[in-house]
Structure 1
Amino acid sequence: MNPIRLSDLAFTIEAVIDEAFGQRALWVVAETSDIKNYPDRGYCFLTLIEREAGRETLAKLDACIWRKHHHTIRDFESETGVAFARNIQLLLLVSVGFSPVYGLRVEILKIDPSYTLGNLERERQAVLDKLVQDHPDRVWLEAGQYITANQLLPRPTVIQRLALISAPGSDGWRDFRHELTQNAYGYAFQVDEYLTQVQGTGAERAICGQLERIQQSEIPYDAVVIVRGGGSQLDFGSFDTFLMGYTVAGFTIPILAGIGHERNVSLTDMLCHESVKTPTKAAAFLIDHNRQFEESCLQLRDRIGMATRDAMQTAREKLDSETERLRFVMHNYFRDRHTDLTEKAVTLRHLDPANVLRRGYALLLQEGRILTSVAAVKPDKTLQVQLRDGTITVISQGVGESVASA
């Protein structure tokens, strides 16, 4: 046996690796693990691994990011909204080298953000496709849009009784409660809290467990509100799972999501009744919803008041018109009656016996009764003849004959 020096072996490995890779960079797909990032110093150490479907590790290599390429971490997080953390599958541009002193060195030169975004979108689409295929009563496609049973639930005219799902004492919980209670209109809301974790491993089961509690309570909530503060894309993984999508899409109470994700839309956002970006905006949405109802009531009140005033004005004008018409009719009526009475008075004056006697007529009375017929005159009776200026007495002797006496 002729042993060789360790340095000779190391130099040989260095030469082989240098010949195989040289200064060439390679694109590699790998999953991150054991990250030790030192942004203040400008370098990062991590382990790259490849797993089989059964999660068995097929390969593992140590890697690093040096100062001149450390900005690629910030660039990746800025473009994807995903925190550079462990257990993310990435597409990396790497160079491979070997140092006789420090050993094999895999240096990361660049991280492709489009690969990560594409993976997230493919995973989300796979969940959507499975929901549509296996549960068409909860999620279905209509004119290219995903429609859910929860979206089609009628929204109460006024939303007052709420079930709130949030992490206890979190910024999202605090922002939502503050905005809701300090609203400018003094609206009162009754909020029952169902506090639980909303991110990390098992968060989707915890959230869905609270939704099941709400369902089983049989309390007639107007809406369920799910809120959490901001965070990276990975922090929102629980809102992109099949379990969350299935539960939210078919839930029998309208769900409002304000999960603090400004960058992308999660499956929960897509499938719930209404989605806003932040917990503060979720509270503002509820306040604005109730304000719209109040404004419609105020507008209706104003319309009723205006209609009442118009009706009163119309009635007043009609009453004035009818009063004037009645006054005119009564004036004409009384004028005509006055004319009739005047004419009748003239006629009566003409028919007054005194006036008749002045015209040369006389009244013949027998036993105080006016005689109008010869047949009524009895013989040998005293009759009175009334003239204009006095009365004379006569005795009847027969029809057509009379004898006057002084």
Structure 2
Amino acid sequence: MSPIRLSDLAFTLEAVIDEAFGQKAVWVIAETSDIKNYPDRGYCFLTLVERDTTGSSTGKETLAKLDAAIWRKHYHTIREFESATGVGFARNIQVLLLVSVGFNPVYGLRLEILKIDPSYTLGNLERERQAVLDALVLNHPDLVWLEAGQYITANQLLPRPAVMQRLALIAAPGSDGWRDFRHELTQNPFGYNFLVDEYLTQVQGKGAEKSICDQLERIRTSGVAYDAVIIVRGGGSQLDFGSFDTYLMGETVAGFGIPILAGIGHERNVSITDLLCHESVKTPTKAAAFLLEHNRQFEESCLHLRDRLSVAAREALQTAREQLDTETERLRFVMHNYFRDCHTDLAKKAVTIRHLDPANVLRRGYALILRNGHILTQRSTIQSGETLQIQMADGVVTVTSD
């Protein structure tokens, strides 16, 4: 067979591909890789890859790889995809693409991306996330379980301290999330003081979930009685939150022995960490606000109890004062009656005593027989011829007994 020129082969390939795919568009499922994005110029180059999903997680075989491009007229599809999904257009995303196939004798085979379907990526992310949750429920029923359609975890059921003051903070060093949280906490209008120990580490990117879990282990073995663990990070795309959607993070958070508050900076979606931690808020600033509000509620309850105690004390004193006045009035009445009765009784006794006075008795015609000044009351004690005195009302008469 005679050799042909490279250009002839290239032109032949161009004709064949154009005949098969010219003026046609096909939907393709692929994974993004090697992205070179030029927003200021309005185009993007990337590689689309298909990997063998049946292989091990550490070494999946590449089944196909093709270069692709998004030109200026279709560049808006990237913004629309990111807006619809909250996922930044980056590498290692499973996407459904509408592409046209083209071959250039100089630049070779390349796919032109016409449209990106956001619903497929969202569905795929949700399927992966649900698979992790299902595995956690299956493998750790004592830590994670479903109840009335809601995920309940051991961490969620931990008692919440009345005041959250001693805190362990997990954040990226110098990050916006770290800065926002600390500023909101320290500049609070109530003057609350917090003791915050920082466990700084990466919170996104490859290996971030292990770094976070390592810090949680440090907290667990620190021996410090923390009231809560706070995990914060600033905003970003959905892929930046991948470390919070892993099996390792879910398992660690669900079974952690200290209440975990997550403020990981995303408004659109809820991560596995959000679902399984003790309390979740949207941003680091709101995490600080949550702590302030929690402690403010305790202070207000104390102030309310103080007011109730003050009112109760005043009412008790008023009641006691009224009871004392009543009892004083009753005592005054009783004493008045008592003294009146005593006076009447004394008056009666005085009359009786006056009636029994010997002088008064003698005036009524009675007489006293005396011997040497001693009153005699029995006849048998008187001797014959004895000298006696008879005391009468008007004087004494001396007599001699027979």
Give the TM-score normalised by structure 1.
0.89
- Equivalence for 1:198: 203
**Residue type matched to 1:190 in 2?**
L
Greater shift, 222-231 or 95-104, is seen at 95-104
Q: Kindly state the Cα deviation for residue 330 of structure 1 after the two structures are TM-superposed.
A: 1.2
C-alpha deviation, 1:170, in angstroms: 0.5
Which moved further from structure 2: 204-213 or 294-303? 294-303
Partner SS for 1:93? strand
4+ residue runs of structure 1 moved beyond 6 angstroms?
A: 1-11
Is the contact made by 2:388 and 2:401 (CA closer than 8 Å) also made in structure 1? no
Which residue pairs with 1:128 in the alignment? 133
Q: Percent identity?
A: 79
- Partner residue in 1 for 2:314: 309
Q: 1:267: how far off? A: 0.9
The answer to whether the 8 Å contact 1:61/1:106 transfers is: yes
Retained in 2: the 8 A contact 1:165–1:194? yes
- Are 2:198 and 1:188 equivalent residues in the alignment? no
Q: Paired residue for 1:381, among 379, 386, 400? A: 386
The 5 A counterparts of 1:212-291 are 212-291=217-296
Q: What amino acid is the match of 1:246?
A: E
Q: Which amino acid aligns with 2:256?
A: F
- Structure 2 partner of 1:404: none
State the alpha-carbon separation in 1 of the partners of residues 96 and 183 from structure 2.
42
SS at 1:217's partner residue? coil
Which residue of the other structure, out of 62, 65, 72, is the alignment partner of 2:70?
65
Give the number of equivalent residue pairs: 397
Contact 2:66 2:111 (8 Å CA) reproduced: yes
Give 2:397's aligned residue.
Answer: 393
Query: Of 365, 370, 375, which aligns to 2:375?
Result: 370
The Cα RMSD (Å) is 2.5
Q: Give, as a single letter, the amino acid of the residue that structure 1 aligns with 2:51.
A: R
1:340 corresponds to = 345
Q: Give runs of aligned pairs for residues 50-61 of structure 1, distance below 5 A.
A: 50-53=50-53, 54-61=59-66
Deviations 1:359-403 (A, max 9, x none): 333333332123334334433333333333x314232242xxxxx
Greater shift in the superposed pair: 129-138 or 267-276: 129-138
Task: Kindly provide the CA deviation profile for residues 205-257 of structure 1, in whole angstroms up to 9, marking residues without a partner as x.
Answer: 11112122222322222222111111100000111111111222222222211
1:12 positional shift: 5.4
Residue identity in the other structure for 2:397: T
Between 378-387 and 68-77, report the one with greater CA deviation.
378-387
Q: Match for 1:351: what amino acid?
A: L
User: Is the 8 Å Cα contact of residues 226 and 258 (structure 2) preserved in structure 1?
Assistant: yes
Task: Please list every run of 5 or more consecutive structure 2 residues that lacks an aligned counterpart in the other structure.
Answer: 54-58
8 Å CA contact retained: 1:65, 1:108: yes
Residue 148 (structure 2) pairs with residue 155 (structure 1):
no
Name whichever of 357-366 and 266-275 sits farther off.
Answer: 357-366
- Segment of structure 1 superposing worse, 260-269 or 360-369: 360-369
**2: CA distance between counterparts of 1:194 and 1:150?**
20
Tell me the distance in 2 between the aligned counterparts of 1:28 and 1:14.
Answer: 21
Structure-1 separation of matches of 2:396 and 2:101: 168
The CA deviation at 1:165 is 1.0
Q: Does the 8 Å contact 2:231/2:262 carry over to 1?
A: yes
For residue 159 of structure 1, report the CA deviation from its aligned partner.
2.0
Contact 1:380 1:395 in 2 (8 A): no
Q: Which is higher, the Rg of structure 1 or of structure 2?
A: 1
Distance apart, 1:283 and its partner CA: 1.5
Superposition TM-score, scaled by structure 2 size: 0.90
Give the 3-state SS of the residue equivalent to 1:108 in structure 2. strand
Q: State the partner residue of 1:402.
A: none
Of 262-271 and 106-115, deviating more is 106-115
SS at match of 2:40: coil
Displacement, 1:89?
1.5
